[in-house]
Amino acid sequence: MAALRLDIVTPDCVVLSKDVEYVGAPGLLGEFGVLPGHIPFISALSVGVLHYKREGKSHYVFVSGGFAEVSEDTVTVLAESAEQAHQIDFSRAEEARKRAQARLDAKNEDHDFKRASFALARSVSRLSLRGRD
């Protein structure tokens, strides 16, 4: 079977570099999927879950924004941050969710609503990966 090369890179490290069969990613305008032979394109990414198939098994990676480039049979993801599902500290993610929700519920003018909303989205996306991979 034809394969795609998936590279996920953050400013700190290479998170993943593998040959895969399929990539699904959270594009800014909605999720998109890539199979081998896909036409080239570039997309901004939203906070969410990227998934890929390797040897018929699904794997999951949290991504916090960035860009994806599809060219030839390669998908390159440049993400602000990324964590494979098995690397996520779920207790830390739950604490982050509680803090973000409390800031939003307080409706305090001193709190940055966009920043709190973004923190909530990140933590909820991380928590959605509990039990996967």
CATH of the domain at 94: 1.20.5
For the cut 70, the answer to whether the pLDDT of residue 1 exceeds it is: no
Token pair, residue 21, equals 């069969």
Report yes or no on 31 lying in a domain.
yes
Share of the chain above pLDDT 90, in %: 59
Q: State residue 37 phi and psi, 5-degree precision.
A: 85, 5
For the cut 90, the answer to whether the pLDDT of residue 125 exceeds it is: no
Give pLDDT, residue 19: 97
32-54 mean pLDDT: 96
Give pLDDT, residue 72: 87
29-58 mean pLDDT: 95
Q: Is the same domain home to 33 and 69?
A: yes
Helices assigned H by DSSP within the chain: 90-106, 113-127
Helices assigned H by DSSP within 42-84: none
Report yes or no on 132 lying in a domain.
no
Give pLDDT, residue 111: 63
Q: Is the same domain home to 77 and 99?
A: no
- CATH code (residue 57): 2.60.15.10
Report yes or no on 66 lying in a domain.
yes
